[in-house]
């Protein structure tokens, strides 16, 4: 098994009560072989944005924008088709809500 450290990222989540420890992370170094694993404040995993504070609002906003873009593409390129066909296209291409069941929808930032 090989591990590609250049494609790996390290993200640290801390509870609010321990945010004062965040500056200490600059002294931590993780390596695999000769490669250092980069620390990041957010990363993308399976198409979802994961920030270090685990706030879902950025991911929800991104998915909302993706949805609006997909709907506009269908309306623009397939405007001449019947409503039934456009509805089938909408069902197929615009309702991919993979991972949304994990969102904390009680977030006041939304």
Residue 67 sits at φ, ψ, to 5 deg, of: -60, -50
Element of type H or E holding 66:
helix 57-77
Q: Report the candidate in 42, 55, 33 with the shortest Cα–Cα distance to residue 10.
A: 42
pLDDT tens-digit readout, 56-107: 888 888 888 989 999 999 999 999 999 999 999 998 888 777 777 778 777 6
What is the radius of gyration, based on Cα positions, of the chain? 20
Give the C-alpha separation, 97 to 47, whole Å. 11
Asked if residue 110 has pLDDT above 70, the reply is no
pTM as predicted: 0.66
């Amino acid at each position: 098994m090989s591990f590609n450290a250049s494609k790996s990222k390290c993200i640290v989540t801390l509870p609010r009560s321990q945010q004062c420890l965040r500056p200490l992370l600059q002294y931590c170094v993780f390596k695999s072989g000769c490669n250092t694993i980069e620390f990041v404040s957010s990363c993308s995993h399976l198409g979802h944005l994961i920030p270090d504070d685990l706030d879902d609002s950025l991911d929800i906003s991104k998915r909302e924008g993706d949805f609006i873009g997909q709907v506009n593409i269908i309306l623009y390129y397939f405007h001449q088709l019947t409503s039934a066909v456009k509805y089938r296209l909408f069902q197929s291409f615009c309702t991919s809500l993979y991972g949304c069941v994990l969102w904390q929808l009680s977030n006041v930032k939304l």
